[in-house]
Structure 1
């Protein structure tokens, strides 16, 4: 058990949890910054978490769900107040409604996570501020301390699993719900470089090509929220895809927070019916790498399965590998 102390101060309305780990500070930080890793320990073992949003930058937000053994779901959110990687981050933590918005009928807290180097590795000091003695008593009565202790007891196993989250594994897709899939890949490049590669037409035409044999004649970028975008692909004459029909996607930019996050709609050109909502998040990692996460929300489980069966992730891996090579050679 990594927790070494839990101190409650009713007068200051705080609870401080200290935990020690036998890994460098950066490794511990990455476990909290990566949605694939934090969801493996943030919820207690009987209430595992799924992070549907996790943009770890000042002004960013997280939205997670914890699923109980009887099918019950408890949602929470973080609002990132400050982020000083890899030393500390501060959040407003609270209960959320199903859509991720704060549930104002329930209390919220302010939390600071401080990461320190130690002789044996690293230390995490988590300090929680409550708004009143009544809220402190209410949340502790709901099992907050026990839940945090059980959750943090899972971190060691996540930290030891270096291979599962190393760069170079390629695109990984995870089905999060009946309608949501998260696609992720670590790319060797900065968040700024990868953001630029997604927003400069001539750069996009060099890497966003999917399998060999395709070219991208049209790349119209949405520059501002409310703008539309349009991307089109065509087979290269004489190439392995020669004879295949051209295709494309279009949509609207809903939210944009450069260089870390944006949300768009997407639908295939010429297809009727609702499309998807795509949420792109770029999270800086150790040694200049960046975790690219794409949360795709489909209108139905049927469409989700149809799209996944097309080999979508294979095409994405070909594109991201091409992008990574271009960044390494730059």
Structure 2
């Protein structure tokens, strides 16, 4: 599938009582399916970042159930019983989610798996009793970081297939795809939302094109007590409005390669791939994949792997600012 082709999922219009999401994984459907149904594999990715999973029993058949407990990073346990209603290997799963021994399920889940070339599209619909319940559940999932489950799944599959460690994060924005692409490629836009929370970003040089590069400064704090970091980016791919690929490095004020001032073993070069997917006329999903690039030591790779939760917090803060910036841009257009 080429970057500009729409998938069948993009035509789906969920009902008011439904929560809908779609992801495309760079893996064959057999591998995606097996990673779903095998408890040992699910334990590697199921749940928000920081959560772990214990399976007590799993009976994958119509009428069977999966009994498991999710363990939160604060030590809270979340018991769950998922009961299966439809099972079509490599194609479809339908089950109830959120039941316990003393409480009914929270919603019915339908998952569709579709082969697209060498990739797999996963469509998930969570059906709740009412539109109000869907709204509240959507808020809860966002606050709990629940959608990171599907980012962790992408990371797990990449490790299984390519033996690469990556960080993945998705977010859907209420904006047309062309506007979203400009928010990432126009300096006057992305300098306002991309820096870490509390930092301001200014450009010493900005040549945003394939083969071009930028050199920038990020500052936080007062003139008496501030943190200043320099960095540069080199643009490798720009397939408007679907894909953007660039590398990033920390530098000193003379553009000599340096390291993160608070993380001396952080990888020298990071590769950022941004995929823009049109979910509806005025809705775009952004998928950011971040990975070390070029020469890498074991210590640098370990530092990257340990920081995924922090990366989620950092990108979430930037995405929150992007959401606010989008509202201002759309209102002014």
TM-score by shorter chain over 0.5: no
What's the TM-score once normalised by structure 2's chain length? 0.42
